[in-house]
Amino acid sequence: MHTRQEKIEALGRVIDTLDILRVKCPWDAKQTNESLRPNTIEEVYELCDALIKEDDANIRKELGDVLLHVLFYAKIGEEKGAFDIADVCDALNSKLIYRHPHVFGSTTVDSTDEVLQNWEQLKLKEKGGNKTVLSGVPAALPAMIKAERITEKAANVGFDWQKREDVWEKVREEMDEFASAASTASQAEMEEEMGDVLFAIINASRLYGINSENALEKTNGKFMRRFNHIESRAAAMGRQLKDMTLAEMDALWNEAKQMEREG
């Protein structure tokens, strides 16, 4: 691993390279916050994919791509006379110290839950910060991640189940309401009830320390692997999926499951 000085020098080299590219490369020179934004989203998703796969080589690569975007936005801010990367770092450092009074101050905490509760309370007190508990939840977040953030923030101010097991009564209640709506209600009402079911399940995941996005993505991958097995086995038998019975496809699905168990 590198020394602290080597890390600082490496970051400095990237900043110097970006400064040169901003002047001498036609593509880099014309970039704006708006033109970079879609690419930033893509880069973050690529990093997430590498993180889920625990692919260290790609994590390193994708972190570099995300860092480039951070530095690029800071460079654009510098050109506008609004801020530079030092301002970004200084603001971040000040925020970290302010929101960790149990490390840099005299506050005492006994658990990670208390740390999170203090974090939310301090955010509300910050000058120019969030005026309400949920105002800090970005509107543009994907719905599943947004639901997690909403329930986290509500829990951090005490709006939560006393025992995590109690959440299953709420899950069952929402599922029953959807089942009832499915037989009598309109499509819009069914959609609303399904939203309640999903929200309750995401909340249950949080209570059990499970990240819903990660859990679902792993299940997506598992389904794709098994379905691909069905498709490849069918092709090997000279069959097309549309001509196979559900029982035949189920047999191949179970074959894929057995292969996974056996490694």
Residue 55 identity (one-letter amino acid):
D
- The tokens of 136 are what? 């800090």
- The tokens of 193 are what? 């009830």
CA torsion angle 65 67 68 71 (round to 10): 170
pLDDT at 108: 87
> pLDDT for 190-218, tens place per residue?
999 999 999 999 999 999 999 998 899 89
DSSP 76: H
Q: How far apart are CA 209 and CA 212, in angstroms?
A: 9
Contacts of 222-227 with C-beta under 8 Å, sequence gap 24+, read 222/260, 225/256, 225/260, 226/253, 226/256, 226/257, 226/260, 227/253
Query: Comparing 80 with 124, which gets the higher pLDDT?
Result: 80
> pLDDT for 73-89, tens place per residue?
999 999 999 999 999 99
pLDDT at 69: 97
Query: What is the pTM for the complete model shown?
Result: 0.67
pLDDT at 129: 61
Number of alpha carbons in the 13 Å side-chain half-sphere of residue 236: 7
**For residue 128, pLDDT beyond 80:** no
Q: Is 105:122 a contact under the CB 8 Å cutoff? A: no
**For residue 131, pLDDT beyond 80:** no
pLDDT at 14: 97
Q: How far apart are CA 253 and CA 32, in angstroms?
A: 48
Q: How far apart are CA 159 and CA 85, in angstroms?
A: 38
